Amino acid sequence: MRDLIIEKMYEWSKKPYQKFFKKNEPWNITPKDLILLPNDSLGFHMGCFLLKYNFEMQPKLEAHDVIHVLTNTGVSVIEEIGMQYYLLGNGKKSAYLFMVIFAGTLFYPNRLKTFYKYYKRGQNAHQFYHFPFHKMLYKSLREIQFTFNIR
């Protein structure tokens, strides 16, 4: 039941967040375009991630999926909350991030150890959350992860 409530909160918040807070331009690329990129590239792996979970690109929110790929984070509710803890550890601060962390901590106090591990992983990586990932789609996923100590 908790997962369902969190998922609904995400669905309700996504459109206003996308419309009013995200100022970047949409990437205008499809998962099928991405899988045509070199097999070791960030873009190829992002395309595979999107196709694996049957996701579509969310305009202006593409970087979220890139971070899933870079950090090798799944898409369960716990993993989504964990990824926000990871980003907090990496230095990101946003109203949306704090909202997810607050709700996640409130709904899953028994997962604080797990969330703390994500936070520490984010701290141990070099700051990367703010990069223009659309310009890095041709770069090797492994090289990006190595360069920024993303584990």
The separation between CA 86 and the C-alpha centre of its own chain, rounded to angstroms, equals: 10
pLDDT digits (tens, 9 = 90+) for 41-53: 999 999 999 999 9
Per DSSP, the three-state class of 41 is strand
E strand spans, the chain: none
pTM metric for this prediction: 0.86
The percent of the chain in helix, strand and coil, each rounded to the nearest 5, is: 65, 0, 35
Assess whether pLDDT exceeds 60 at residue 22.
Answer: no
Average pLDDT, the chain: 90
Torsion of CA 110, 111, 114, 120, to 10 degrees: -90
pLDDT given at position 15: 56
**8 A C-beta contact, residue 78 and residue 114:** yes
